[in-house]
Structure 1
Amino acid sequence: MLGASAKLLAIVLLAGSLAACMTDGGDQGGVVYTDDRGVANQPFPVDYRAQLLAFLRTYLNNPVGVRDAAMAEPIQRNVGGRLRYVSCLRYNAREIDGSYRGVVQRAVVYVDARLDRMIEKADEVCAGAAYAPFPELEKLTR
C-alpha cells in the first residue's frame, strides 16, 4: 500500500506526463493534442464547405436566417506558428430573440483536411481575404 507522499508523487508525475503531451496552440488560443510539427504539406480540405456547414449548424444558436454570408477559399496561413489551411468567413446570424447584431468575421482552421477549429478574433488571420457569396449558409436549416 502506498503512503500519502508516494500517492502525491504519482499524481504529480502523471500530471506532468499529461502536460508534456499538450502544446500551446499559439496566440490564437486553444490546445493542440496532436504530434503535428506544423509542416507545410497539409492536404487541401476538398470538402471544406460541407464540413463548415455541418459545424455551423451546431455552432450557431440559430442557424436559420443567416444574412450577408461570404467566404474565402482556404489558403495557407500561419496560425499559432503552424502552416494551416484557413478559410475566412463573414456572416450576420440571427440571435435567439430574432434580432441581428451585425456581420462577424471568423477564421476556420483545417488540420489534415478536416475542420479543426474556428477563431473568433480573425482580423489578422483574414487580412486581405478574397470573399465570395456563400448562399449555402444563408439557406441553412436546423
Structure 2
Amino acid sequence: MFQLLRKAGLLFGLWLLLTDAEPDGLPFGAVAAVAGALAVPGGGAWPISPAGWLRFVPWFVGRSVAGGVDVLRRAVSPGRPLDPDWVTFETTLNTPPARHLLAATVSLLPGTLVARLDGQRLTIHVLDRKLPIRRDLHALEARIAGLYAGEGQ
C-alpha cells in the first residue's frame, strides 16, 4: 500500500508541476495519479529512477524546445527547407514501458514523428534527412535507459 501511495504521490507531484497547480485540474490530476500508480507494473519498488528523471527532464525540455524552434523555422522560411524521409530504428531498450516512452518522446526531437512501433523497431518520419537523427535517437535511448532499472545499454 505504501508503494502505491508513493507512486501516486510522485505522479501527482509531476501533475502539479506540469499544470502550475491549477485548482480546476486537481481532481482530475489526483485520479490520473492513482490510475497511473496502479498501472505501473510490479508491486515492488518503482522501476523508474528519480535521479534518472532529474537528468532526463531538463535534457528533454531542451530538446523539445529545439524541436519546436526547428519546425517553426522551417514553416516560416521561404521555400520551406524540407528533405523528408523514413528512418527505421532498432532500439536496444528491453521493456515495453521504456520502448513506449522512447516512441512517445521521439516525436519531440527536431523534425521527427514516430509512425509505428513494432516490438523493438520504430518507423520514423523525418522532415530533413540531413538532420543528425540517429545520433539524437541514440542519445534519447541512453537517457531513457537511465530512467528504468534493468535497461542496460
Q: TM-score range by the shorter chain?
A: under 0.3
Q: Structure 2-normalised TM-score?
A: 0.22
Q: TM-score, normalised by structure 1?
A: 0.23
More helix per residue: 1 or 2?
A: 2
**Greater strand share, 1 or 2?**
1
